[in-house]
């Protein structure tokens, strides 16, 4: 009996809502919106798309495109954080955010965020934030980690970046 009542109620509600979804256009009437027709110059469009997407393949001076593998800070950060499960990795946005990580026997977990402020190999090019979450039974508390912890991670990234840069230069020789 209850299923029958629910079915009829849903049918009635649907029948009242469906007319609200219909358009105001009368049958056989054309829409009022006028479409503007424009000419497409394929040569200009192709040239523009080459420049924007691949960093200027046409030979003109302008934008440059750098792959993440050529950025030593990016590579060093990924190597430094390779023990963490990563949640967000966005090279174009310049951010790496880990997922919450904890050892098997601990009620504490950490989350680390690395932001890239520049491609230059210097300490001011990287900003690190970290958080610690402690959970007891049904209650969790999240706090920001101390700057000394963030500085250790940052120093590790810069040191690895220097090592990678030296290795890359040695490969070129």
Asked whether residue 14 is domain-assigned, the answer is no
Q: Residue 88 sits in which domain range?
A: 69-172
Whether the per-residue pLDDT at 8 is higher than 80: the answer is: no
pTM: 0.58
Asked whether residue 51 is domain-assigned, the answer is no
Total tally of structural domains belonging to the chain: 1
**Which CATH number goes with the domain that contains 146?**
3.30.530
DSSP class of residue 82 equals T
Asked whether residue 35 is domain-assigned, the answer is no
Asked whether residue 147 is domain-assigned, the answer is yes
Asked whether residue 137 is domain-assigned, the answer is yes
DSSP class of residue 22 equals S
Asked whether residue 124 is domain-assigned, the answer is yes
Percent of the chain predicted with pLDDT > 90: 39
CA 151 to chain centroid, in Å, comes to: 24
Asked whether residue 28 is domain-assigned, the answer is no
pLDDT at 57: 46
pLDDT at 157: 94
- The total of other beta-carbon atoms located within 10 Å of residue 81's CB is 20
Measured distance CA(46)–CA(136) in Å, rounded: 59
pLDDT at 71: 84
Average pLDDT over residues 55-62: 48
Whether the per-residue pLDDT at 1 is higher than 80: the answer is: no
pLDDT at 149: 95
Asked whether residue 2 is domain-assigned, the answer is no
């Amino acid at each position: 009996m209850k299923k029958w009542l629910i079915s009829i109620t849903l049918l009635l509600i649907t029948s009242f809502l469906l007319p609200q979804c219909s358009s105001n256009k009368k049958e056989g009437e054309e829409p009022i919106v006028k479409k503007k027709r424009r000419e497409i110059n394929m040569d200009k469009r192709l040239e523009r798309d080459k420049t924007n997407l691949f960093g200027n393949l046409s030979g003109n001076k302008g934008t440059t495109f750098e792959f993440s593998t050529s950025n030593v800070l990016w590579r060093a950060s990924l190597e430094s954080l390779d023990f963490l499960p990563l949640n967000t990795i966005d090279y174009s946005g310049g951010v790496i955010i880990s997922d919450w990580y904890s050892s098997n026997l601990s009620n504490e977990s950490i989350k680390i965020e690395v932001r890239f402020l520049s491609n230059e190999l210097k300490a001011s090019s990287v900003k690190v934030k970290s958080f610690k979450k402690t959970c007891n039974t049904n209650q969790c508390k999240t706090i920001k980690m101390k700057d000394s912890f963030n500085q250790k991670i940052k120093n590790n990234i810069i040191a690895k970046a220097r090592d990678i840069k030296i290795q890359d230069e040695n490969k070129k020789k």
